[in-house]
Structure 1
Amino acid sequence: MTLEVIATNIEDIKQINKSQADRIEFCFELERGGLTPSYETIKQAGEISSTPVNVMLRPHDRGYNYSDEDFNQMLIDAKYIASTKVNGVVCGILTPDKKIDQIRFKQIIDLLPGKQIVCHRAFQEVEDQIQGLKDLKALGVEMVLTSGRDNINESLDLLKTLKEANLVTIQAGGGVGFDNIQAIKQVVDAVHVGTAVRETKSWLAPISIEKINQMQDILSN
């Protein structure tokens, strides 16, 4: 059971490195669900972090079926990320009918040899999620970040079903906190947390090393 913590800037990354977190997801603009960070900070994150950093690859928050212009920007960003020392990329691309866009996803993956590929919460919009997992596994995607559907507390059975399919690693994220972690850890392979491990439940609040370590203790026992 691994614990991933969201970072929104370089200071967050430095603080998370002092904790027992297993991995970092790095993105800008969490109020918009997380977007691609600046190139300068991506490069710096890869250089300073001993904890593996996965970078969000998402040009905007207007859905996951991208225009040609948006997708071309994603290709440019992926090429840049490939040149850095970060661990991987968090990405999601859907067809107009809410299936995994295997053609475009493969184009992104082909630009990122040796990097971990994670599908983000775009997956929640996929109608047939078991088929979605099969599509992702065929592409070489290692992990899916999901809260099931909209409410993670109402999606525990779905998360359990996805895990039991044993296709890719299921990482719970979006609404994970100290109030529900005991139930969630029973039905997934990994956990992803955000404001739950900040000093207050705000993206503007500092990272709490103590809360990260408390969360890791819960996952380990």
Structure 2
Amino acid sequence: MTVIVEVCIDSIQSLPIAQRAGADRIELCSSLKLGGLTPSAGTLYQAIKQAHVPIYSIIRPREGDFVYTGEEAEVMLKDIATARQAGGHGVVIGALHADGSLHLDLLDAMLKEAGGMGVTFHRAFDHCADPMTALDAILARPTIERVLTSGGATTAAQGKTQLKTWVEYTRHTSLRIMPGAGITVTNAADIIDHTGARDIHLSARTTRPSSAHTKPTVAMGEEDESGYPITDPILVKAVKQAVAHLN
């Protein structure tokens, strides 16, 4: 079975780079430095127009935890509707209660709004107080195709033992466990080989220098503005090659 390499991007400039480098699927975000937030409608429509691989839009209205207010839930449902109306292939979702359990009512509402699109449950899973109970609840919702997770660790390499347990637990179901967080050229093959997963998720970011001819004297945020993040095609190609022999 082919190993699917998913690349997360947060700009329209990164889309053709990731595609040419061999990305099999795109997770479309904004603000990857914040863990990935919902992309703008303009970015979403333009990406879908240009894409020749599936585009999954993350639905995350803000940085921080995954415990959402009623107003934030409404925003998320509207963003899912926008992704569906734009012709997106799927959405990447997740929501929790304050006690670390899945917010099943909101999850079901989001699945209903997705209306047949593909669905990934994102790394809110790694914030669950009882991952096995959460995994059983996700398995009971077969429209969810995969879970993006680091195995509850800081990186997927550190969590690979737990990832293997979850891959084996879901092996005879339609749900796929997708390792993500800290995926590099040097560890991708080992993670796939150890866990038995058939999807892998990475950002493969580098920094592109600013094209401005003047140096900004006023900061627009907390980050260095001498450049901006963009997909590195060399890293994407290298990970594709690293896992190709495992197909």
Q: Aligned residue for 2:14?
A: 12
Instruction: State the Cα deviation string for residues 132-175 of structure 1 (Å, max 9, x = none).
Output: 11211222211011111232232111000010011521111111
Match of 1:153 among 148, 157, 170: 157
| Residues 41, 205 of structure 1: alpha-carbon distance in 2 compared, 3 angstrom cutoff | closer
Match of 1:192 among 165, 177, 201: 201
Length-normalised TM-score, structure 2? 0.83
Letter in 1 for 2:36: G
Moved over 3 A (4+): 197-200
| Partner SS state of residue 21, structure 2 | coil
Ranges in structure 1 where 5+ consecutive residues have no aligned partner: none
| Partner SS state of residue 219, structure 1 | helix
Q: Distance in 2 between matches of 1:206 and 1:81?
A: 23
Q: Aligned residue for 1:173?
A: 180
Percent sequence identity is: 26
Letter in 1 for 2:61: P
Match of 2:166 among 162, 169, 185: 162
Q: Aligned residue for 2:147?
A: 144
Number of residue pairs aligned between Structure 1 and Structure 2? 219
| Partner SS state of residue 153, structure 1 | coil
Q: Distance in 2 between matches of 1:129 and 1:165?
A: 12
Deviation at 1:215, TM superposition (A): 1.0
Match of 1:105 among 85, 104, 107: 107
Letter in 2 for 1:141: I
Bigger Rg, structure 1 or 2: 2
Match of 1:57 among 56, 59, 64: 59
Letter in 1 for 2:192: K
Q: Aligned residue for 2:244?
A: 220
Match of 2:120 among 118, 136, 157: 118
Deviation at 1:209, TM superposition (A): 2.4
Q: Does 1:211 align with 2:235?
A: yes
| Partner SS state of residue 154, structure 1 | coil
Letter in 1 for 2:202: V
Letter in 2 for 1:142: E
Letter in 2 for 1:105: L
Letter in 2 for 1:192: H
Letter in 2 for 1:117: V
Match of 2:134 among 132, 135, 139: 132
Q: Distance in 1 between matches of 2:115 and 2:47?
A: 19
**Aligned residues: CA RMSD:** 1.8
Q: Does 1:30 align with 2:32?
A: yes
Q: Distance in 2 between matches of 1:17 and 1:162?
A: 29
Deviation at 1:13, TM superposition (A): 0.8
Letter in 2 for 1:193: L
Ranges in structure 2 where 5+ consecutive residues have no aligned partner: 209-223
Letter in 2 for 1:176: I
Q: Aligned residue for 1:45?
A: 47
